[in-house]
Chains A and B, each alone.
Chain A
């Protein structure tokens, strides 16, 4: 097996802000002044803690209503899934799919992917590193798109207030769902994808 040259086994650390390479003994980036680390500090612990937080926030985000529609004195509460079902009933299937993908599939898929990545790195698994790297990049890229539902509520609340006729109010799930999105974004940020590849380096050096 041919050993590839990484920055770490050349005694170099790459600045996470400006990509400058400097010897691992240097603690402050000579180019941009950021603190240098060989790998992100306590990456797995931080990611795991944030993922657990996101999971806890995810429960109220789905159980409580994300918005209330008050029409002629009667109030109707709708959860995230309720909104999707309502859209299907209204016949707007494409929009229902958009909400379903961004508010249901993406956040839960993101949580599961991140747990899987942390678990495989913890187990020092060398398998499918390229695929796991790809999974991580997709997760990181797609994270902010889950905010769509929060923006929809924000627009509807501002726009729909016609006296006693028709009013839309936000529900507590909007807050917890925004929390889920932000916390998972920070979790993805604190995960160091180079750890996936460090396991392969370990296996190579053992042989």
Chain B
């Protein structure tokens, strides 16, 4: 029974068996993706999560976008992007945007480092389960890639009005988005929990 998995989309019992590096399993009844095994998954997560955190720090250290027309210029940083909503009587939306584009993604990357180091080295800690739980809970609320599209749309919208310059912080944020997506893609929920359980039993 140890290799059985109930499809979370249709509840069919699937015997996954032993997967080799790169193999993935889908539900034969509803087609839902179930799991993918990568021997070096935790090493990849470690690499992408640490690179992502460095890019996020860079993204917060330089100007994000600048906008100028008729001799007047306005420069904003990443943190000021939702901040202006706060001063425009929309603190709720400002908090939501900050949470979705900075706080949750940053927290996920930090937690991923905390999780992947012991999983990669084969060490068990009782806090592994709560850390993994928090990551899987927070995952669907990170909107890094959506924000990138938002920036591009905003740029096109105002490009006709004035001169817009993209700052170093934007490129750092784009690199952060790529690293973040790659780190999340390498964390397989089923494999991660199997690994935590195996380490706990040993």
Contact = CB atoms under 8 A, between A and B. Distances in A.
Contacts of B130: 33
Interface string B5-20: 1101111110000000
Contacts of A163: 72
A12 interface: yes
Interface in A46-105: 83, 87, 90, 92, 95, 98-99, 102
Contact of A174 (B83, B90, B100, B190): B90
Contacts of A156: 154, 157-158
For A98, A102, A157, A175, the residue with the greatest tally of chain B CB atoms inside 10 Å of its CB is A157
Interface string A130-170: 10011011000000110111111111111111110110011
Interface SS of chain A: helix
B5 to A, nearest CB: 6
B29 A95 contact: no
Chain B interface mostly helix, strand, loop or mixed? helix
B90 A151 contact: no
Interface residues on A, range: 35 or more
B88 A159 contact: no
A147 B100 contact: yes
A151 B74 contact: no
A158 B189 CA distance: 38
Contacts of B158: 156, 159-160
Contact of B129 (A14, A33, A154): A33
B74 A18 contact: no
Contacts of B190: 19
B81 interface: yes
Contact of A10 (B13, B31, B140, B151): B13
A148 B156 contact: no
B161 A166 contact: yes
A7 interface: yes
A32 interface: yes
A17 interface: yes
A178 B156 contact: no
A157 B162 contact: no
B93 A175 contact: yes
B13 A5 contact: yes
B157 to A, nearest CB: 7
9 interchain residue pairs of minimum CB distance: A151-B150, A7-B6, A158-B84, A14-B6, A18-B193, A197-B10, A155-B154, A162-B72, A133-B30
Given A19-B5, A197-B29, A197-B30, 18 more contacts: A5-B12, A19-B193, A87-B156, A92-B156, A137-B32, A147-B143, A148-B146, A151-B97, A151-B147, A151-B151, A157-B85, A159-B81, A162-B69, A170-B93, A174-B93, A185-B140, A193-B10, A197-B10
